[in-house]
A = this chain, B = another copy of it.
Amino acid sequence: MQQIFVCTVLKGEQLLNENNALAVAFKKTKHQVVGHGFRNIQVLKEALMNSDGQQESDIYGKGKIIEDFQKKMAEYLGKEEAVFFPSGTMAQQITLRIWCDKKGLTKVAYHPLCHIEIHEEDGLKELHHIESVLLADKSRLIQFEDVVNMGEDIACLLLELPQREIGGQLPDFETLESISAYCHEKGIKLHLDGARLFEILPYYKKSAAEICKLFDSVYVSFYKGIGGLAGAILAGDKDFTEESKVWKRRYGGDLISLYPYMISADYYFNKRINKMKQYHEEALELAGLFNQCHAISTKPLEPVSNMFHVHFDGPKEKLESTLIAIYKETGIGLTGYLREISEDACFYEVSIGDQYGNIPKEGLRKVFQMLDESMRELKE
């Protein structure tokens, strides 16, 4: 089982404009089932459309445009202060360094498939010499017992909600509360990798602030469910955020102007923050359609956010041909890539966005009819 997850790590394939046949066919479809639309310059142009050209740029982290947005997000997350960062990678490494320095320890704990462990070229270790304790195994969520057993010489525990690389799974809220209480008692800082925090609020039926209250520090992203350009917010107590600004300067993240990201973050936050329930319901519907197909299953079976993984019990090359045929026939695209798990299995990641609602229902029915038939033929 563990072996499987090692090789199912996504590396941005779903976004790269590869020149393979599946990517090309996907781009030619009239409707795409996933996402908000192609990532093109129009995304920025739309965000800027109604902005006042005379509005002043932020300057090295200062100015109304950045301070207003930081204040808005601090309030939304229920934290004292918030700082805008170019990226979550930068924000989270800095977070762990600050908590390590504060505790005089150089050890943190997190899931073996969290972003910081697998997508950042070991930045945490190379830049900070911080050691990581990997909790749980690659196939499942961190549970309370993992936390109790991790030892007490840990400066910070990072939890990623939802755990993306296993399809976007979530612990129940009571588990979160137990972990938070335990960490608090033991003096271990608890950090939330909330790259997809907005997307899980409908499932927990909680406000962002109610969830963030369990954590000492929180990072959220603006280019996943929100669909902005890039950028992140790091929130916590003022002591913590002020120190994070010093590190932001050290990292070269304190750019003279971050406003293209801020304006788009704010614009798409306003546009989409109230659509997360709809995306979740659509993810449930779509996952149901996949799970009715022969030799296809979703992970998790019932999505807890707008995302899930689709696992095909068949070889990648065969599935690519199948999908291309379906796209050509229906004009509807499911994905632009497949990732091989083994010779006879592959998967891809779904993130529901604005586009799902525009898919003609009749067309979607046809897609799944063809997909089911093809999988039956394939497995005969």
A-side interface residues toward B, CB under 8 Å?
12, 15-17, 38-45, 48, 51-57, 59-60, 62-63, 85-91, 93, 120-123, 126-128, 223, 229-230, 246-247, 249-261, 263
Contacts and interface: CB of A to CB of B under 8 A. Distances in A.
- Taken together, the copies of this chain in the complex come to 2
Given A250-B120, A260-B260, A55 B41 contact: yes
A276 to B, nearest CB: 20
Contacts of A45: 48, 53
Contact of A121 (B44, B54, B250, B255): B250
Nearest to A15: B59
A57 B86 contact: no
29 contacts: A12-B59, A12-B256, A15-B60, A16-B60, A16-B62, A17-B56, A41-B54, A41-B57, A41-B263, A42-B54, A45-B53, A86-B252, A87-B253, A89-B249, A89-B251, A89-B254, A93-B252, A120-B252, A121-B246, A123-B252, A126-B250, A127-B251, A223-B256, A229-B257, A230-B255, A230-B257, A251-B253, A252-B253, A260-B261
Nearest to A55: B41
A41 B267 CA distance: 15
A260 B57 CA distance: 14
Nearest to A64: B17
Contact of A256 (B126, B230, B258): B230
Contacts of A260: 44, 229, 260-261
Contacts of A56: 17, 38-40
* Most chain B CB atoms below 10 A, which of A39, A62, A89, A260: A260
A158 to B, nearest CB: 15
Nearest to A52: B41
A106 B131 CA distance: 22
Contacts of A229: 57, 256-257, 260
A40 B54 contact: yes
A271 to B, nearest CB: 17
A374 to B, nearest CB: 30
Contacts of A59: 12, 15-17, 39
Nearest to A49: B45
A102 to B, nearest CB: 15
Nearest to A51: B41
A85 B87 CA distance: 13
Contacts of A263: 41
Given A17-B63, A56-B17, A39 B257 contact: yes
6 interchain residue pairs of minimum CB distance: A90-B252, A89-B252, A123-B250, A42-B53, A260-B260, A87-B252
Nearest to A221: B256
Nearest to A45: B53
A242 B144 CA distance: 42
A12 B40 CA distance: 33
Nearest to A90: B252
